[in-house]
């Protein structure tokens, strides 16, 4: 068990962290039917495409600043109770726009929840704005331009999520140039639904310090060596990978092989209730299913803090809490 270990997370999509119980309460609040997306208090989806559909439907249950504050506070409080000292949440102003709330109010609501959770538990957190790949390069440029304005101090990074099998990384190079120039930290979903070539493209066209997932780099030994040599950090989400059938089971998951190859890896939950997991469970799986020692796992937590998109004073304060 890993309940005694301090934890840190770099990769969780905030709408994807909605407990089904909270989704049901939100649906009741707005008089909406959830029978197509929730059954027996679990989300209903079968593959990545239907997962995205279910995710978007859950996102549409959050309609005001207060709703988003409640979501962030709920998730971060649960994390803190599991010993988590730092969390980066992936946020999508596109969801705020779609629901008519607007991107600024969306961020303000989330930030209020983050501040409330910090006041209550001490958990530090930041937001990474994400472009949505299947909405296309122009949409992602618009999202990058919004992120580059840096309207909120808690926004410190940029990600690209969504359907990795659509478009090529090069199509998004301009969006990443915009946010790089604005000084945001960069990470990108790659090597999850697509193979090693996608990770290589991400390194070449985006030059991120981290890769979201990146686990299918294991298909190319030269690429694994490059990731280790360049000290690029992987945000690994084992439970998500099994749930989405990127790998058939934890026994064939490459976390251990990547770690042994010298790759800097971290543990993350991605969209925890969708994948029947939690950050605490990912830590437990690393320990009792994958056989990592506490020292190895503490090393992953330290890597997460080292790779976090925070100012140096905050990083040192977090390291001193480990």
Ligand X SMILES: Nc1ncnc2[nH]cnc12
269 binds, among ligand X, Zn ion, none (CB under 5 to 8 A by kind): none
Nearer of residues 99 and 318 to ligand X, judged by Cβ: 99
Binds Zn ion (CB under 5 A): choice among 94, 108, 270, 284? 270
Binding site for ligand X (CB under 6 A): 13, 16, 55, 161-162, 189, 192, 240, 270-271
Q: Which of residues 134-173 bind Zn ion (CB under 5 A)?
A: none
Contact 82, 3 (CB under 8 A): yes
Smaller CB separation from Zn ion, 62 or 274: 274
Closest approach of Cβ 189 to ligand X, in Å?
5
Query: Which residue number, 6 or 189, has a Cβ lying nearer to ligand X?
Result: 189
Please name the residues in contact with 182: beta carbons below 8 A apart, sequence gap of 6 or more.
Answer: 147, 148, 149, 150
235 binds Zn ion (CB under 5 A): no
The residue annotated as part of the active site, out of 78, 108, 124, 192, is 192
**Minimum distance between the CB of residue 148 and ligand X, rounded to whole angstroms?**
21
Instruction: Give strand pairing partners of 266.
Output: 235
Nearest-angstrom CA–CA distance, 301 and 265:
9
3-state helix, strand, coil split of the chain in percent (to 5) is: 55, 15, 30
Q: Which CB, 124 or 270, lies closer to Zn ion? A: 270
Residue 31, CA distances (Å) to 27, 40, 75, 109 in order: 6, 19, 23, 22
Is residue 192 among the annotated active site residues?
Answer: yes
Please, which residue, 88 or 270, has the CB nearer to Zn ion?
Answer: 270
Smallest distance from the beta carbon of 162 to Zn ion, in angstroms?
Answer: 9
- Non-local (6+) Cβ contacts of 6 within 8 A are 83, 84, 85, 298, 301, 321, 322
The residue at minimum Cβ distance from Zn ion is 270
Name the strands in the sheet holding 7-13, side by side, starting at the edge strand that comes first in the sequence. 7-13, 84-91, 124-132, 155-161, 185-190, 210-213, 233-236, 264-267
The sign of the CA dihedral 75, 80, 82, 83 is positive
* Residue 17: CB minimum distance to Zn ion, A: 11
Smallest gap from Cβ 132 to ligand X, in A, equals 8
| Positions that interact with Zn ion (CB under 5 A) | 270
């Amino acid at each position: 068990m890993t309940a005694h270990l301090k934890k840190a997370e770099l990769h969780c999509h905030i709408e994807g962290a909605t407990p089904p119980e909270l989704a049901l309460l939100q649906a009741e609040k707005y008089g909406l039917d959830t029978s197509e997306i929730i059954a027996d208090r679990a989300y209903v989806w079968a593959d990545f495409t239907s997962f995205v559909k279910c995710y978007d439907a859950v996102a549409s249950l959050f309609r005001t600043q207060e709703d988003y504050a409640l979501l962030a506070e709920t998730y971060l409080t649960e994390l803190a109770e599991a010993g988590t000292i730092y969390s980066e949440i992936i946020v999508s102003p596109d969801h705020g726009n779609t629901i008519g709330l607007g991107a600024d109010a969306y961020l303000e609501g989330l930030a209020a929840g983050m501040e409330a959770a910090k006041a209550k538990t001490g958990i530090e957190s930041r937001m990474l704005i994400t472009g949505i790949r299947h909405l296309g390069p122009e949409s992602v440029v618009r999202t990058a331009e919004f992120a580059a304005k840096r309207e909120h101090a808690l926004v410190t990074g940029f990600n690209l999520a969504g359907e990795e099998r659509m478009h090529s990384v090069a199509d998004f190079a301009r969006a990443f140039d915009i946010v790089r120039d604005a000084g945001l930290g960069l990470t990108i979903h790659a090597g999850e639904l697509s193979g090693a070539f996608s990770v290589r493209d991400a390194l070449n066209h985006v030059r991120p310090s981290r890769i979201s997932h990146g686990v299918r780099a294991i298909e190319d030994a030269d690429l694994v060596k490059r990731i280790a040599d360049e000290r690029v950090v992987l945000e690994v989400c084992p439970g998500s990978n099994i749930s989405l059938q990127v790998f058939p089971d934890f026994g064939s998951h490459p976390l251990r092989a990547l770690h042994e190859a010298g790759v800097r890896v971290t543990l993350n939950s991605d969209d925890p209730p969708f994948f029947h997991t939690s950050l605490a469970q990912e830590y437990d799986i690393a320990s009792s299913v994958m056989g990592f020692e506490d020292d190895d796992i503490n090393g992953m937590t330290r890597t997460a803090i080292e790779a976090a998109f925070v100012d140096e004073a905050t990083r040192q304060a977090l390291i001193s809490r480990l």
